[in-house]
Amino acid sequence: MVERIRGIGDNSQELEFSTRPIKILFLNSKFPGFNFQAGGSERALERLINGLDSQYPRHYQLSLYVKENRNMDQDVPLPNSVSYSGQKSRLALISYILTNQNRHDLLHVYTGILLPSRMLGIIDAFWHKPIILRINSYNMIRNYSQCPPLPRRLLLSKINKFIALSPEIEEGLLQMGITRDRIALIPNGIDIQMFSPPENSAHKESLRQKLFPNIQMSNRIAFLYTGRIEEKNKKCLTMLDLWSASDLPNQGHMMVMAGPINEADTNARNRLEDYKEKGMNIGTFWTGALETNQLIEYYRASDFHILPSLQEGFSNALIEAAACGLPLVVRNSVSGNSQIVTSATGFQFDKDENIIPLLTYLTHIDARSYGINARLRAEKFDNRNIVNQYHQLYQSLERIPRHN
């Protein structure tokens, strides 16, 4: 690209600058792609990188450093132009920064920094160019606010911009003393053409027959959970305990658990595996890990989406479900939920013991209008708009003119 800049004054002359691509290094915990560990942040990063490559192909040169050793058989669904590498050790990251810093213009820490973190101290010490830090969970705010003020200020002083996924995270950063001009509120985005409702009731019914063979689906309400199945933050085990003890399975309703079991605690994992083994005997249907096209079919075939999480940053699953026309069921006062779930798009509960009464109520109502409104709400998070916001941010941090 050539940019013409005219000087000011009597002796002004036209200068030609060629603006080279901004070279961005992304730091992330795991590789994007279809594997049992990649989660919401990995999916969001995949969408951002692919969006930048398609919408602004000449503006950026993108690299990815991941804090894990890559399985060479692992699919990394990124453009061929994106270089990537990764190792687990801190020494490897220091070596990479010292060796390659001159090849990059700014660092975008996408995820992988748990505040407070020695890793952030390493980055502060060895990286001397603009830094963007994405805060992907309100838990990061909670942990960091407990640090003494002085080391907190020192660690965060070199961050040029903080990405807040939700208003709750933004408010938490402000309370920590981060000035508003250093915060950008940018949620996750999705492809709203790909994630879309079933074409009609016949389409939904055909999907139900395909996905739930040998299960009588007439008059059966399918509640859908999507994502990694674990207890600590997601509260999946608690939800299944309540579900299995309720009368909803006996009434013919179903809880679809779409995702891999990712529980670290042995006892909790064994209990989840036990529920999986019981399956439809307790009204549960388990899919395992799903690729995107498979996941979309389960969204379209279900009646409600439920997210019992105690903590989120900004849930990809909620936007995906809303875009597919599902009424939403969430826990009240969880970061990011209020951006999607309103009185017109879904339902909220306060405590665990409120889950089953709410689900029971939902089996008796016509909730189609909530699904229609949820789809309209989701359109605000079109990934193209989110990519545009990041583009504006990157341009504001690093403008690099160069003489021909």
Q: How far apart are CA 388 and CA 258, in angstroms?
A: 31
Round to the nearest angstrom and report the end-to-end CA distance of the chain. 11
Work out the pLDDT band at 85, boundaries 50, 70, 90.
confident
Q: What is the 8-class DSSP label of residue 156?
A: H
- The mean pLDDT of the chain is 87
For residue 51, the SS3 value is: helix
Is the pLDDT higher at 245 or at 86? Answer: 245
pLDDT in tens, 103-129: 999 999 998 665 556 677 778 788 889
Q: Would you say 261 and 37 are in contact if contact means Cβ atoms under 8 Å apart?
A: no
Task: Evaluate if residue 400 carries a pLDDT over 50.
Answer: no
Is there a shared CATH topology between the 2-189+383-397 domain and the 201-380 domain?
yes
- The maximal CA–CA distance of the chain, rounded, in angstroms, is 86
Task: Evaluate if residue 281 carries a pLDDT over 50.
Answer: yes
Task: Evaluate if residue 401 carries a pLDDT over 70.
Answer: no
Given this model, what pLDDT does residue 402 score? 34
Q: How far apart are CA 195 and CA 324, in angstroms?
A: 6
DSSP string, 358-390: HHHHHTTS--HHHHHHHHHHHGGGBHHHHHHHH
Whole-model pTM: value is: 0.87
Of 203, 212, 210, the C-alpha closest to 254 is 212
Q: Would you say 31 and 74 are in contact if contact means Cβ atoms under 8 Å apart?
A: yes
Backbone φ/ψ region at 227: left (φ over 0), alpha (ψ -120 to 50), beta: left
Is the pLDDT higher at 33 or at 282? Answer: 282
pLDDT in tens, 50-81: 999 999 999 999 999 987 766 555 667 788 88
Domain spanning 2-189+383-397, CATH architecture: 3-Layer(aba) Sandwich (3.40)
Given this model, what pLDDT does residue 12 score? 39
Q: Which CATH number fits domain 201-380: 2.30.140.10, 3.40.190.150, 3.40.50.2000, 3.40.630.30?
A: 3.40.50.2000
pLDDT in tens, 174-229: 988 899 999 999 999 999 999 999 999 999 999 999 999 989 888 899 999 999 89
pLDDT in tens, 350-378: 999 999 999 999 999 999 999 999 999 99
Which residues have a Cβ under 8 Å from the Cβ of 108 and sit 6 or more positions away? 24, 25, 26, 27, 132, 134
Work out the pLDDT band at 298, boundaries 50, 70, 90.
very high
pLDDT in tens, 318-335: 999 999 999 999 999 887
Q: What is the 8-class DSSP label of residue 101?
A: G
* Across 234-251, average pLDDT: 97
Q: Where are the domains of the chain?
A: 2-189+383-397, 201-380
Q: How far apart are CA 172 and CA 361, in angstroms?
A: 35
**Count of Cβ atoms closer than 10 Å to residue 30 Cβ:** 20
Number of residues written out for the chain: 404
Q: Would you say 231 and 270 are in contact if contact means Cβ atoms under 8 Å apart?
A: no
